[in-house]
Amino acid sequence: MGSLRISLISDFMCPWCYIGLTRLERAVQQLGVAAEVDWTFRPFLLEPKTPAEGLDLRDNLRRKYGDPEPLFRRVEQVAAQDGLAIDFAKIRKGYSSVRAHTLVAERPSLSLVTAVFKAYFSEGRDISSMDVLIELAARSGLSREETIQLIEQPEAQQAIRQQAAAANVRAVPALSFGGPALEVGPISGALSVAEYCALIERVLSKEA
C-alpha cells in the first residue's frame, strides 16, 4: 500500500469531477509522488433514476436550472485551461453511470476512470453502453467476456447504488487524503492544482 491514500467520490456525469481529477493527477505528478498513491474510487449518482435510454441533457438541466448553455460554455472554458477538451456540442444525453461505476469497482484503475470521463465529455459517447465499456476495459487488459461478467452482476450493480446513496457528501468531486499520521477530508469541489499540492504535502509531512 502506498504512503498516500486518495479516495475519490465522483460521478462520470459530472464535468467538475473530471476537471478535479485532472488537477489532482497534475498535483501528484508535480510533487513526484505518483508511485506512492493508493487510489480508491467510490461511486456517486447525480441522477440515480436515469432510464436505460438516458435523459435529454439540455431538457433535464433546463427544467432544474434554466438555460444550460452558459454553464456549458463556462465548463468548457475552465476545462480548456486545464488542457481538457470537454465538448458539450457532442453530448446530447445524460446516461446512467451504474455500469461504469460497477466496472471500476471490480477493476479499479486510474487510467480506466480517466478513460470513461474522456469518452463521455470529450467524445460524447454513451458510457452506459456495454460496447463502449468493453472497448475501454480492453485497454486495461480485460476481455469482452470478462467485462460483461464483471458488469452484468445484479448484486454488483445494486451495491453501487447502495454505496452511492450512502455517500455522506453534498457535492462531488469529494476527496479524502490519508498519510502516515493524518487524514483530511472529504473535501468537495474541484480545487486548484496548488491547493491539491498543499493538501498532499500536508498529509505526507512528518510534522503532521
pLDDT given at position 2:
61
Q: Residue 119: what pLDDT? A: 98
Average pLDDT score over residue span 117-123: 98
pTM across the whole model? 0.94
Q: Which domain holds residue 200?
A: 4-204
Q: For the segment 53-83, what is each residue's pLDDT rounded down to a tens digit? A: 999 999 999 999 999 999 999 999 999 999 9
Rounded to the nearest 10°, the torsion over CA 198, 199, 200, 202 is: 80
CATH code for the domain in which residue 147 is found: 3.40.30.10
Distance CA 82, CA 199 (A): 19
In tens, the pLDDT along 132-143 reads: 999 999 988 999
Q: How far is CA 196 from CA 90, 153, 199, in A?
A: 30, 36, 5
Collapsed DSSP state (helix, strand, coil) of residue 140: coil
**Percentage of the chain surpassing pLDDT 70?**
98
What are the tens digits of pLDDT across the range 94-105? Answer: 999 999 999 999
Domain tally for the chain? 1
Q: How high is the mean pLDDT of the chain? A: 94
